[in-house]
Chain A
Amino acid sequence: MIKEFAGIPKDEFEFVGETEEKSEVLTRPSISFWKDVWRRLFKNKVAMTGLIIILAIALFSIIIPELSSYSYSQQNLRNINAAPSSEHWFGTDSLGRDLWVRTWVGARVSLAVGIFGSIIPSLIGIVIGGISGYFGGKVDMIIMRLIDIIICIPQMIYIILIMLVIGSGPVPLIIAFAITGWMGSARNVRGLILKIKQEEFVLASRILGAPHGYIIFKHLVPNTLGIVVVSMTLGVPAAIFQEAYLSFIGLGIKPPIPSWGQLANLGTSVFRIFPTQLLIPAIMISLTMLSFNLFGDGLRDALDPKLRS
């Protein structure tokens, strides 16, 4: 008899019945996948900061031009290249246009082009990629080969060519994005669908006799949704960048309709003397791109099941 336990009385050595529960109580309440995603996203301060900045800029872009007494195209040749003042909070440009208004109208244009220029190509890509992945076979092969060929040339070159033909402006720009920007998203979605099709839970579903529609909505969509949303979010700063780039080389948005890219372009020609004219749109572009990137990254981290704590 082992000494330390000598003190235990004999009646302790009676059998206990089977009344007590046999399995562990799950010590952590299980949360649904989406609630967990939201929870993690909200906890991510950096991502939330990004989101707040985006919403703030969007809000300003809607409200401020309505409140201003100047229009974005109103010229005043007696007050050109003015520094920021109480009358013109951001100063004026080389034609005397109020830069405060132009910045926020430009915000509307750049944001709209950025957001639609990301969403529309994504949607096209989802449809094409979805068809390719779901049906597989010859259809899949042809579409993928086509994409392989087209994608060797950078998107920007196609956009430049297209815009030379259809002209400049926000709508032609979005059209150009839509025509040239769906490939990446199509490939991703197709890859995802192929992967999920193989997953055991889909196989299990089919064995249990679920119809195609059920499989698509209950399995394919929820698993692709998160990734699609992330790539759409991260596509916005790319589109904003492309718009800025195109406007910079003279193709994107032409005056008088302002866009941040155009304002940057106009600003570089007078940068050495009037730096604010470039600094302001530059900061807006960078800030917005950064915010979307941070938020998109946060979204992606929140959706990653491996990080589930």
Chain B
Amino acid sequence: MVGYIFRRLLISLLTLWLLATITFFLLRLLPGNPFQTDQILTFEMQERMMNYYGLNRPIIEQYFTYMGNLLQGNMGYSLKYTNRTVNSIISKAFPVSADLGLRSLALALPIGLFLGIASARKRGKTVDYLCVIISVIGVSIPSFILGSFLQYIFALKLKILPMAQWTTEMHKVLPTVAIALGLLATLTRIMRASMLEVTTQDYVKTAKSKGLSEGKIVWSHEIRNALIPILTMMGPMVASVLMGTFVIEKIFAIPGLGLHFVNSITGLDYTMTMGLTVFFGAFLVTANFLVDIAYGIVDPRIRIAK
């Protein structure tokens, strides 16, 4: 088990390093001068900025400075909000996005798993068909479109929920649902397939031959094993929730990291984009690492693998 954890840790660190490096070089390749955006700076001012950011130095030197800074957690200043560091923006906006993300997961996980189990057990009956329809639709409609629809129906037409922003509990409903629905659809689909696969396994027959009740078999034997493929999907699921926040925050004007990220792209705020990319990368790598550990705990076979 320790060996397994160590391996995953190593890979995680390598990934982070790779991402930071790629980000660095890619953004250096960007055409033009990062300071040529909307501000009209004098030549001297540009020179001073370049010096400050070390953009005149040879690339290798810049790279090490950059990496050094990163390791200290310093991600520089935003080009747009010139007197704010990227870090400060992150620390303000991250809790908002985290809140949104966690709520979506908390909504989607129990419902999705439950529906998946129910639809597998009552295969071919109405519940199953409904779940299959919901999951197929949920997977085919992108979250931002769904978000707009929800806004239209519940905020504009029915006027029962607020349109945008993130202040009260009521405000938080629509954005959460918008992200959760897509996730739920995927979860239901996977859980259903997984349960169907598990039910035909031999050990289920063994369990039955012991005289265990149906409920006990489903709970102790089937669900436990069916959850394993779901666990392997948790990493990508967290990633997709993250991606979902980008667009949902834009639609609902939520002051989270996603909004900042999208704006930094259109506003050409490169340090911000870079900083956020590295931050997201670190976040996801950590999340993946935790999922790997959880997976190792749940499935004992993995601990010896490779």
A and B, direct touch (CB closer than 8 Å): yes
B158 contacts the other chain (CB 8 A):
no
Cβ-defined contact, A149 with B236, below 8 A: no
**B27 close to chain A: CB less than 8 A:** yes
Residues B15 and A150 in contact, CB atoms below 8 Å apart: yes
Identify A152's interface contact among B141, B144, B262, B285, CB under 8 A: B285
**Is residue B233 contacting chain A, with contact meaning CB distance below 8 A?**
no
A194 close to chain B: CB less than 8 A: no
Min C-beta distance of A180 to chain B, whole Å: 11
Which A residues lie within 8 Å of B29 (CB)? Answer: 165
**A76 located at the interface, meaning its Cβ lies under 8 Å from any Cβ of chain B in the complex:** no
Verify A149–B136 contact, CB threshold 8 A: no
Q: Which of A19-27, A37-45, A283-291 contacts B (4 or more CB under 8 A)?
A: A283-291
User: How distant is B71 from chain A, measured CB to nearest CB, in Å?
Assistant: 19
Tally of contacts, chain A with chain B, CB under 8 A: 107
**Are A293 and B280 in touch, CB under 8 angstroms?**
no
- Chain B residues 20 to 42 lying within 8 A of chain A, measured CB to CB, are 22-23, 26-27, 29-30
- Total chain A interface residues with beta-carbon distance under 8 A: 36
- Known contacts: A164-B26, A290-B137, A293-B136. The answer to whether A157 contacts B280 by CB under 8 A is yes
- Which stretch from B56-64, B219-227, B242-250 is at the chain A interface? B242-250
Contact status A165-B250, CB under 8 Å: no
Is B199 part of the contact surface with A, judged by Cβ < 8 Å? no
With A272-B152, A293-B136 as known contacts, state yes or no: A245 contacts B144, CB within 8 Å: yes
Looking at A86-94, A120-128, A246-254, the stretch in contact with chain B turns out to be A246-254
B interface bracket (residues with beta carbon within 8 Å of A)? 35 or more
From A158, A249, A271, A275, give the contact of B250 (CB < 8 A): A249
Q: Knowing that A152-B15, A153-B281, A278-B145 are A-B contacts, what are 16 other residue pairs whose CB atoms are under 8 Å apart, sorted by A's residue number?
A: A149-B15, A152-B284, A157-B19, A161-B22, A164-B30, A165-B29, A165-B30, A237-B140, A245-B142, A248-B144, A249-B246, A271-B148, A272-B156, A275-B152, A282-B148, A285-B141
Spell out B's residues near A (CB within 8 Å).
Answer: 11-12, 14-15, 18-19, 22-23, 26-27, 29-30, 136-137, 139-142, 144-145, 148-149, 151-152, 156, 235-236, 239-240, 242-243, 246-247, 250-251, 262, 265-266, 273, 277, 280-281, 284-285, 288
